[in-house]
A and B are shown apart, each in its own frame.
Chain A
Amino acid sequence: SQTIHQWPATLVQPVGSPLSLECTVEGTSNPNLYWYRQAAGRGLQLLFYSVGIGQISSEVPQNLSASRPQDRQFILSSKKLLLSDSGFYLCAWSGTGNEQFFGPGTRLTVL
């Protein structure tokens, strides 16, 4: 069966510091991968998605970037965090079935 992992689970970072969040998927090959941000426990904002290694589509211009160095690894990064980057970050994957399966999330607080 497929599983998706995210780490860390929680992170507290000062403004201006770098960020690296990691997502890995097991039990499937060539998944589509997605990064979302959820603010205040409400709606989801799609940040990036990837259909293959090195292929990244950005949905919202901002302080963040994404990379996919391996087939089942998706990384969300920032060189300098802003207060507005605080939120709950969710990674998801999808295959041929179209539904997306979500990881447990990372709670990021920028102080």
Chain B
Amino acid sequence: AQSVAQPEDQVNVAEGNPLTVKCTYSVSGNPYLFWYVQYPNRGLQFLLKYITGDNLVKGSYGFEAEFNKSQTSFHLKKPSALVSDSALYFCAVRDLSSNDYKLSFGAGTTVTVRA
């Protein structure tokens, strides 16, 4: 079984401050992990993924995420947030031991960056 938890429904930060969106996962085997962003009335956009290798993954729009196996976490970070980063963010996981390509998504975290 695979699942993802995003413990915060909402994150509010000031422009220019660091942004962190939390994600923890649960899998039987090893995880593939993903972050997506969704703007209002739009589809999800892929930001970054962790498959293997370096625990720090860099993605689109200046975002990065750190894989922590001991804490089963994959938090999304941005050193300096922009107002345009305000959106809904989803974490997703796929268990490598599964036989299908389905992803399990978290419930989403709404990020608001104030000017």
Contacts and interface: CB of A to CB of B under 8 A. Distances in A.
A46 B103 CA distance: 9
Size range of the interface on A? 20 to 34
Interface in B96-115: 100-103, 105-108
A98 B43 contact: no
Interface in A30-80: 32, 34, 41-44, 46, 49, 51, 57
A51 B101 contact: yes
Contacts, number: 55
A92 B38 CA distance: 14
B69 to A, nearest CB: 18
A90 B88 contact: no
A94 interface: yes
A43 B106 contact: yes
A90 B43 contact: yes
A90 B92 CA distance: 16
B45 interface: yes
Interface in A84-111: 88, 90, 92, 94, 97-105, 107
B107 A107 contact: no
A33 B108 CA distance: 22
Contacts of B100: 49, 51, 57
Contacts of A32: 101
Nearest to B43: A102
A43 B42 CA distance: 14
18 contacts: A6-B43, A32-B101, A41-B40, A41-B88, A42-B88, A43-B108, A44-B105, A51-B100, A90-B44, A92-B43, A94-B101, A97-B49, A98-B34, A99-B34, A100-B92, A102-B46, A105-B41, A105-B42
Interface of B: 32, 34, 36, 40-46, 49, 51, 88, 90, 92, 94, 100-103, 105-108
Interface of A: 6, 32, 34, 41-44, 46, 49, 51, 57, 88, 90, 92, 94, 97-105, 107
Given A34-B102, A57-B100, 20 more contacts: A41-B40, A41-B88, A43-B105, A43-B108, A44-B90, A44-B105, A46-B102, A51-B100, A90-B43, A90-B44, A92-B43, A92-B44, A97-B49, A98-B32, A98-B51, A99-B46, A100-B34, A100-B103, A101-B46, A105-B43
